[in-house]
Amino acid sequence: MSRYHLQYRTLVSPAGPMTGPYHYRRADEILAQIEAANALSTQAETTLAIRAQAHATVALAAATAIDPDRQREEWRVVAGARCTDT
């Protein structure tokens, strides 16, 4: 069962609010699923790729629509970068 990560306020559950970083992470997970699969039908691969693209598009919309300081740490965590206050 998925949960909400309180330290980073990162959604890891479809039951809660979906943030831009959540959609970014889901797109990445779906693409990894495609790459890890040994044999997917063309239809299954296409369906997964479309889902990944939808999540990536929503993540991009969220990233451009929010205040740059909102969710800054969450974006950096999901993208694999460390947040440093300079």
pLDDT tens digits, residue range 34-60? 999 988 999 999 999 999 999 999 888
The model's pTM is 0.66
Q: What is the pLDDT of residues 53-81, one digit of tens each?
A: 999 998 888 877 776 666 777 777 777 75
As a whole number of angstroms, the distance between CA 48 and CA 69 comes to 32
- Give how far the C-alpha of residue 54 lies from the chain's centroid of Cα atoms, to the nearest Å: 11
For the chain, which residues make up each domain, given as ranges? 4-79
